[in-house]
Amino acid sequence: MLTEKAKGRLKRYREFMYEGDDDEVTLFLESRKWPPIVGSEGFVEKIKGRFFDDKEREEIPEWRGLAPGGERIRGIVCKFYGIEEGDLSVSRRGVFNEPRNMAIHLTRRLGRATLKETSKAFQIEKCSTVSSVSERMKALIATDRAMRGRAEALISPLIKSQEQT
């Protein structure tokens, strides 16, 4: 874009970078809160997949934006268990709903959703319920090998799918 000749591209790029920004451009860029990643949906997903590694990085405020979204997590869970998304909102006292509980746990763990965001997504009145469900699933995954296998089978496509897009 800066020059058609290959020989002078680096020199012209350096000159361009040292020129500084036009006041109008600077004012425009400073007037908005920009997302952490700017580009097409495919590009954003590719970057998320490359740099999200399931380890929270609180020193980087935009890190949370790299995590897979709740909608994606719910979709993968529903596909894995062969259920409809509406089934994730169904809860009966004393009945263990593994897909729902797994989706809640992964939304909190991978999606880094707040208790309030998660309770809203799963139509749960109390945030403490979300916390309890997530902690019970965490303990169950740690102690039950079959449950751990299912959790890993769900986590893998959530992270890899971002790398592939």
> 68-164 in CATH: which number?
1.10.1750.10
The C-alpha atoms of residue 44 and residue 101 are separated, in whole angstroms, by 29
The predicted structure's pLDDT at residue 164: 44
The predicted structure's pLDDT at residue 165: 41
C-alpha separations of 57 from 22, 51, 66, 139 in Å = 34, 11, 11, 23
- Chain mean pLDDT for the chain: 79
The C-alpha atoms of residue 61 and residue 75 are separated, in whole angstroms, by 26
| pTM of the shown model | 0.60
Q: What digits encode the pLDDT tens for the residues 108-136? A: 888 778 899 899 989 899 999 999 999 99
More confident residue, 90 or 50: 90
Q: State the CB neighbour count (10 A cutoff) for residue 159.
A: 16
* pLDDT mean over 79-92: 88
Cβ atoms 78, 99 nearer than 8 A: yes
Give the residue among 63, 64, 74, 61 at the shortest CA–CA distance from 101. 74
Q: What digits encode the pLDDT tens for the residues 30-60? A: 766 666 677 787 787 777 666 655 455 555 5
The C-alpha atoms of residue 53 and residue 96 are separated, in whole angstroms, by 30
Local confidence band at 163 (pLDDT 50, 70, 90 cut-offs): very low
Domain coordinates in residue numbering, the chain:
68-164
The predicted structure's pLDDT at residue 77: 92
| Least confident span in 62-66, 126-130, 139-143 | 62-66
